[in-house]
Amino acid sequence: MEFSVESWAPEYGSSLNVSSSEDAEDLADATVERELDNWAPIDPGPATRPDEIAFIDGIQRIDARIWIHENGISTPAVCVSMAAGATVCAPGTAITTGIRVARSLVAPAASTAGPIGTRHATYEFVPAQDETPEATYLAIHGRRTELEVGVARSVSCGLIVFDGPLRGYRDPQGVGYIKTHHKVYLPQAVRAVLGDLADGQRTPLFFLSGGQARGRWSWYLRLPGPRVHPMSGIVRLELPGTGTAAEAVQRAEYVSACLPQFASEPHKESRAPQNLYPISGIERELRRRLGDAHLLERALRIAAGHGT
């Protein structure tokens, strides 16, 4: 495979971020726990913390943008490093475990792309549907999700918290933790309840369906911390859409009672309180495990000069 590395820095060029990791087609049924006229903040009941709680997160970084050359035609692609891991918390301890690192060459499935081997890493071919930025993002997103799910399957805890939506993960111990809101799912009639939540309070449950993801139980929770606007400290959580509403409510009570103790503070974390301390810790370790971006890019340029 003949290729060359783009002369611009990897962070330039078409964006690989989509406007929302949440499904715009999701429909919300906000009456599964309470009728709309009875919506109000809920104080979670006391819950016994599990012996261990695992927090799962993943990160990604574009090491280089490349062009694959074939028969006078050049096709854009990206070389990406990604990693996923867990922080397992028990009373008085927090351990980083299960870290997985992957290097991927993301290129259109119809191209002649194959693995790129360099002195420092091998970028395995991951096909994208086409050469659009959206298709590239989805391919990266899918590979990173595989890493995160693999990490989750390597731990055994009473509660497994994913930093982000569940993305199809169906283990009953899992909960999706969404701290960035691209869409408010609640009907207009009950949205004011979000602003009324006190620290540690949650909304009633609602059920999400209709999008590409399978159904999920979901609710909003306010974490303790400074309040500069009505959505300060608000996170959305989701559970696999299995079982009964009563079982989901019981699980929501349990999760809502456990998570506030991990909320971060502004003097330690710029995304406080939503970026929980165990997630912040695993992010730092994953960035270290990705390696030096300049060294990896230089190795790719050397490989391009020799062909691969």
181 alpha-carbon distance from chain centroid: 13
By residue count, the chain amounts to 308
pLDDT of residue 18: 43
- Report domain extents, the chain: 2-13+21-306
- The set of residues, in sequence order, having a beta carbon less than 8 Å from that of 159 and lying 6+ positions away, is 50, 53, 54, 173, 175, 254, 255, 258
pTM for the model: 0.90
Cβ(152)–Cβ(144) below 8 Å: no
Cβ(63)–Cβ(297) below 8 Å: yes
pLDDT in tens, 202-213: 999 999 987 656
pLDDT of residue 15: 39
Cβ(170)–Cβ(186) below 8 Å: no
Residue among 210, 216, 211, 206 at smallest CA distance from 170: 216
pLDDT of residue 296: 96
Q: What does each of the 308 residues of the chain score in pLDDT, given as a tens digit?
A: 899 998 777 766 543 444 444 555 688 999 999 999 999 999 998 877 889 999 999 999 999 999 999 988 999 999 999 999 999 999 999 999 999 999 999 999 999 899 999 999 999 999 999 999 999 999 999 999 999 999 999 999 999 999 999 887 888 899 999 998 888 899 999 999 999 999 999 999 999 987 656 799 999 999 999 888 889 999 999 999 999 999 999 999 999 999 999 999 998 888 989 999 999 999 999 999 999 999 999 999 999 987 65
- Strand segments, DSSP code E, in the chain are 2-5, 27-29, 53-70, 73-90, 93-108, 116-117, 122-128, 159-163, 174-178, 206-209, 216-222, 234-240
Tokens 């970028």, residue located: 123
pLDDT of residue 183: 87
- Reading the block at residue 88, the tokens are 């397992």
- In the chain, % of residues over pLDDT 90: 77
